[in-house]
């Protein structure tokens, strides 16, 4: 019987014959950096925990199953996962990458990779022709993130995969905003799926973690080689925490998404709000493409207020959410991309991407939805006093 994803989330890390025979319903925490070998010519499945640890392996198998891949890899952070994937490239290779990319990925691609002779071109990926035009004979990789951060831009995954296949380039996709439950890039032909599991998969703002999934055996071997060589593996305790937290991802994410839809509609009706970025709104230019490749509109939205002063007044007046970097937690998280997630980006680059001084991002938590709506209403009322001054 093939299991649906909600079931796989609960049982995916526990396998017959894999965990111990004592009947524990949770994956054992194997706090062991090294493993005893039977004899000089008889080695077991595990030797050293950087290369493999049974607790981490349970998580890696679970994420591979959830994404419909063959191999999963758990890293110490989302950025460790992103950078390990880039490290399968070599000097002389070229990357075509969405300009609307996570700030840390932008920093790695612009400040680290060029030192190793790996070049890049940023493109507005909502324009498929522009992606095609940016591909050169050296292009080895086309890198996507959809929906994007923080303006929720939508990339047509199938169209970009087609371009990559025509040129013999690989595709990577950062699937953090959708989780494997609602967007399955490998099924659409993407080669490598990446998650910052720090966000919705863990969902409690407790640990940092990154996950990678591949389907192709050779590509899996290449990522494994980097994971073991570079060594930024996820620790055993954090692997256990993530396995536990992932069991509730479906209920958390689906509820957070439902409330995000209500908040987005509310914000769209507010005179003080200039623009709402949320793929669940009919007004979103990428809504049709998004709905053709995803089964959820997600729990993150952004909106722009007229100025820095109004945004500041609004943030100061909001009472429920934490004002912080990050997203995907059980607590609502309000953030200011210009100074937080995208602080690493030059001001001109931010402006090009719509990351204005009035832009705020909101990750919906699990608080009472009417409390959240009331908080928005009162904070907007306070902020509108600043706007008229």
Task: Catalogue the active-site residues.
Answer: 50, 102, 174, 199
Shortest spacing between CB 318 and ligand PLP, in angstroms: 21
Comparing CB distances to ligand PLP, the nearer of 176 and 205 is: 176
Residue number with the smallest Cβ distance to ligand PLP: 78
Residues in contact with 101: Cβ distance below 8 Å, sequence separation at least 6, in sequence order: 109, 122, 143, 145, 148, 149, 174
- Distance from C-alpha of 66 to C-alpha of 185, rounded to nearest angstrom: 11
The least distance separating ligand PLP from the CB of residue 266, rounded to whole angstroms, comes to 24
Q: Where are the beta strands (DSSP E) in 210-336?
A: 210-214, 275-277, 300-304, 322-323, 333-335
Distance, CA of 160 to CA of 125 (rounded, Å): 8
Number of Cβ within 10 Å of residue 188's Cβ equals 15
Spatial CA neighbour of 316 closest among 383, 389, 385, 384: 383
Q: Between 19 and 342, name the residue whose CB sits nearer to ligand PLP.
A: 342
Residues of this chain that bind ligand PLP (CB under 6 A): 77-79, 82, 102, 104, 145, 149, 174, 176, 196, 198-199, 208, 210
Q: Tell which residue, 174, 172, 117, 105, has the closest CA to residue 146.
A: 174
**Helix or strand or coil: residue 260?**
helix
Query: What is the pairing mode between strands 139-145 and 170-174?
Result: parallel
Cβ(170)–Cβ(198) under 8 Å? no
Task: Please report how close the Cβ of residue 2 comes to ligand PLP at its closest, in angstroms.
Answer: 29
151 or 384: CB nearest ligand PLP? 151
Q: How far is the CB of 310 from ligand PLP (least distance, A)?
A: 26
User: At its nearest, how many Å lie between ligand PLP and the CB of residue 288?
Assistant: 22
Per DSSP, what are the bridge partners of residue 86? none
Could you tell me which of 337, 342, 253, 259 has the C-alpha nearest to residue 303? 337
30 vs 86, beta carbon nearer ligand PLP = 86
- With tokens 């590509």, the residue in question is 219
- Say whether 138 sits in a helix, a strand or coil: coil
Give whichever of 12 and 329 is closer to ligand PLP, judged by the CB atom. 329
Instruction: State the Cα–Cα distance between residues 321 and 305, nearest whole angstrom.
Output: 18
CA distance 229 to 238: 20
- To ligand PLP, the closest distance from the beta carbon of 107 in angstroms equals 11
Dig out the tokens for 131 from the structure.
Answer: 């992606």
**CB-nearer residue toward ligand PLP: 272 or 325:** 325
Residue that is written with structure tokens 């490239």 in the block: 89
């Amino acid at each position: 019987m093939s299991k649906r994803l909600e079931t796989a989330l609960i049982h995916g890390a526990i396998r017959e014959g894999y965990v111990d025979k004592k009947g524990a319903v949770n994956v054992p925490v194997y706090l062991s950096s090294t493993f005893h070998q039977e004899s000089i010519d008889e080695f077991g499945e595990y030797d050293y925990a950087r290369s493999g640890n049974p607790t981490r392996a349970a998580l890696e198998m679970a994420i591979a199953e959830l994404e419909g891949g063959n191999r999963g890899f758990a890293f110490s952070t989302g950025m460790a996962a992103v950078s390990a994937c880039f490290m399968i490239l070599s000097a002389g290779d070229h990357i075509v990458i969405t300009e609307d990319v996570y700030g840390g990925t932008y920093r790695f691609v612009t400040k680290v990779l060029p030192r190793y002779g790996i070049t890049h071109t940023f493109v507005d990926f909502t324009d498929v022709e522009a992606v095609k035009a940016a591909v050169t004979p050296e292009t080895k990789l086309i890198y996507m993130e959809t929906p994007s951060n923080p303006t929720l831009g939508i990339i047509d995954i199938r169209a970009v995969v087609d371009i990559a296949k025509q040129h013999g380039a690989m595709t990577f996709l950062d699937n953090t905003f959708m989780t494997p439950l609602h967007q399955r890039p490998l099924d659409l032909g993407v080669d490598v799926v990446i998650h910052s599991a720090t966000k919705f998969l863990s969902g409690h703002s407790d640990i940092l973690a990154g996950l990678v999934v591949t389907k192709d055996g050779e590509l899996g071997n290449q990522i494994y080689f980097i994971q073991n060589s570079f060594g930024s593996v996820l620790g055993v305790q954090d692997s256990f925490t993530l396995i536990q937290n992932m069991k509730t991802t479906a209920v958390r994410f689906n509820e957070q998404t439902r409330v995000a839809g209500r908040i987005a509609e509310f914000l769209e009706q507010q005179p003080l709000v200039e623009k709402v970025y949320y793929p669940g709104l009919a007004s979103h230019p990428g809504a049709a493409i998004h709905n053709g490749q995803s089964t959820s509109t997600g729990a993150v939205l952004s909106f722009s207020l007229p100025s820095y002063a109004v945004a500041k007044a609004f943030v100061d007046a909001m009472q429920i959410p934490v004002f912080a970097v990050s997203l995907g937690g059980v607590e609502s998280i309000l953030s200011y991309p210009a100074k937080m997630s995208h602080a690493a980006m030059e001001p001109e680059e931010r402006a090009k991407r719509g990351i204005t001084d009035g832009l705020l991002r909101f990750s919906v938590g699990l608080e009472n939805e009417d409390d959240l709506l009331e908080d928005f209403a009162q904070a907007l009322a306070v902020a509108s006093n600043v706007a008229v001054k």
